[in-house]
Amino acid sequence: MSVEFGINFMPTAPAREVVEWARAVEGHGYAILGLSDSQSICRDVYVTLGLCAVNTERIRLGPRVITPVTRHPAVAASAAATLAELAPGRTMVGIGSGDSAAYNIGLKAVPLTELRDYALVIRNLLTTGRADYHGATARFTWSRVRVPLFLAASGPKTLRLAGQIADGVVVRTGIRPEIIRDSIAQVHEGAREAGRDPDTVEMWWWPDASIAASRREAIEEIKMSLAAAGNHLSRFTMEGKHIPPELLGKVKTLGERYEFADHVQPGSANRRLIEELGLVDYLAERFAFAGTPAECIKTLERAVEAGARRFWISIHFDDKLRFMRDWAEQVMPAFR
């Protein structure tokens, strides 16, 4: 049974330091590298990805994720084609409705119809050079390239959309077995609705992860990431997102009080918010591989048994090199 692992960073360090992280991703045997796009709180995603592309040889890489809020599709297509020149056959484009990149400039996430249009326009620009967008004709003349498009999805409607139009999906619904099975079913349903083979849609699960001497210590390291995951549960609607009825009010409050200026930052107010709301254990159990290596392996085994095969781990705490080494040496061998 083939299981793949990837790593995602927010490029909060100088770009040359992020390149060292990318080299470690490749050196430790991970399959894919993603960089977050959040211009207000970290370095530019495509400048940094370009450096990572020319300093690696094997790993796939791309933005995880860009948003219609901040990039016109022609700008996004040009960036994608440039990165594809630097790393032929190794790139992808992740697209989402909008998170900290949008909210930190006073804007909001886009609705599903806009996300769909945006993805299709980028694809058409890259492959045909022309597309209609917001009532005008957009042109893209200098390249023709097929770059895989992935949609980030945290609810059933976006999962189905990914199945309908995308090459892949970054699944931010959770790693509990029943949620994994339902998420797969939603993507497959969308693919069948569009007359596509469901198995052609590449599914990457987006967990948080931390290895430590105890589960409590591991969870402490990723609380800012758990808060971000919980905030996604409140986005647009909470229907169909497997939230226990007794926690609906708390999740709603998390979304209302979430501080985007502190998005996934160590020591952020959002850590304290999920502690105050009593959501830490729920979010850790739903979204994270956390604990000793043995505990992480056990949780992973349940996820794999439920049908997940690819895990694209976000790392937002400081000691990234230590985590990548420990995960590669102490967890990944159990799934080879």
Examine the domain organization and report whether 40 and 150 are in the same domain: yes
Cα–Cα distance, 244 to 257 (Å, whole number): 20
pLDDT at 187: 98
Same domain as 106, residue 207: yes
Q: Is the pLDDT of residue 171 over 70?
A: yes
- The domain containing residue 304 runs over which residues? 4-215+288-335
Model confidence pLDDT, tens digit, residues 195-251 = 999 999 999 999 999 999 999 999 999 999 999 999 999 989 999 999 999 999 999
| pLDDT, averaged across the chain | 97
Number of domains in the chain: 2
CATH number, domain containing residue 15? 3.20.20.30
Determine the Cα–Cα distance for residues 219 and 209; give it in Å rounded to an integer: 8
Same domain, 240 and 132: no
Structure tokens at 282: 């729920």
**Are 103 and 235 part of one and the same domain?**
no
Length of the chain: 336
Could you tell me the CA-to-CA distances from 70 to 254, 270, 277, 304 in Å, in that order? Answer: 25, 24, 32, 36
- The reported pTM is 0.97
One-letter amino acid for residue 182 of the chain = D
- What is the predicted pLDDT for the residue at 200? 97
Query: Does position 271 have pLDDT exceeding 80, yes or no?
Result: yes
How does DSSP classify residue 292? S
- What token pair was written down for 120? 């299709």
Is 47 in the same domain as 132? yes
Q: Are residues 63 and 120 in the same domain?
A: yes
pLDDT at site 266: 85
Q: What is the DSSP letter of 202?
A: E
Token pair recorded at residue 330: 């102490």
Same domain assignment for residues 124 and 228: no
Q: Answer yes or no: is pLDDT of 267 > 90.
A: no
Q: Residue 106 — left, alpha, or beta (φ > 0 → left; ψ -120 to 50 → alpha)?
A: left
Per-residue pLDDT band at 1 (split at 50, 70, 90): low
Is 153 found in the same domain as 69?
A: yes
Each residue of 48-74: pLDDT tens digit? 999 999 999 999 999 999 999 999 999
96 and 139 in contact (C-beta within 8 Å)? Answer: no
pLDDT tens digits, one per residue of 99-119: 999 999 999 999 999 999 999
